[in-house]
Amino acid sequence: MTDPRADQLALNLSAQRERLAAACAAAGRSVSEVTLIAVTKTYPVADVLRLAKLGLTDIGENRDQEAAAKAAATAAAGATVRWHYVGQLQRNKCRSVVTYADMVQSVDSASLARTLAAAVDRHRTRPLDVLVQIGLDGNAGRGGAIEGAADPDREVRAVVDEIASHRSLRLRGVMAVAPLRWKPAAAFEKLADVAAWIRADHPDATLVSAGMSADLEEAVAAGATHVRLGSAILGNRLPPAVA
């Protein structure tokens, strides 16, 4: 029995893998240096299982309620994937997130790092990989730690130091989204600079999660190790049904 959705995902994924390979070649990098993450928010767990069969096992989600249910259903189906929590994380969701996430990419405050570490200590048997989300434009109203932030809880160095102080957390690097009205290349160059000084103090913090469907090439050129693709692989999301 044919599965048209699986066929379409296979075509989309093949195209994006070719695109990633071309971007790596243009940047003088090996494609093996860059991990492709499929961001499956709003898509059914059936698509996660289809992607896993196609060999794409790094999956991103940004809402705990949806992610937790998908993680449980994926495990029940016998598939093994690596879950990346990429959305803004509320502290009251940490207890749930640590039970399924392999990496949290959106730690943007010292207080969130403390809460996440406490949740790992209570509800998880192994350390949790985390990335510091960087607010590149300094806008405190958006997610992200900020260099020179007026709020000490959101200052990049404070967040880095807090993560590093907990044995239950592993500081692996940084994540960012290119701000609106910024040229992606300029945004990712700034992220690379932040990543470099963090890595100088924390040599294991080698990961840079940057780039989405619209700006993969610029992210790879700036040294991204992880790119997060949603619509380029899964297609455009349908609008909510009208009652």
| pLDDT over 80 (residue 166) | yes
pLDDT digits (tens, 9 = 90+) for 24-55: 999 999 999 999 999 999 999 999 999 999 99
Q: What is the pLDDT at residue 51?
A: 98
Q: Which domains does the chain have, with CATH numbers?
A: 4-234 (3.20.20.10)
Query: Average model confidence (pLDDT) for the chain?
Result: 95
Residues 6-23, mean pLDDT to the nearest whole number: 98
Greatest CA span in the chain, whole angstroms?
Answer: 59
| pLDDT over 60 (residue 242) | no
Q: What is the pLDDT at residue 142?
A: 81
| Residue 106 dihedral angles phi and psi, to the nearest 5° | -125, 40
The answer to whether the CB of 87 falls within 8 A of the CB of 106 is: yes
Q: What is the pLDDT at residue 238?
A: 52
Distance CA 225, CA 199 (A): 14
Band of pLDDT at residue 241, cut at 50, 70 and 90: very low
Return the structure tokens found at 225.
Answer: 């190790």
Residue 22 burial class via C-beta count within 10 angstroms: exposed 0-12, middle 13-18, buried 19 and up = middle
| pLDDT over 70 (residue 185) | yes
| pLDDT over 80 (residue 141) | no
pLDDT digits (tens, 9 = 90+) for 209-220: 999 999 999 999
Q: What is the pLDDT at residue 237?
A: 65
| pLDDT over 60 (residue 152) | yes
pLDDT digits (tens, 9 = 90+) for 66-124: 999 999 999 999 999 999 999 999 999 999 999 999 999 999 999 999 999 999 999 99
Q: What is the pLDDT at residue 243?
A: 32
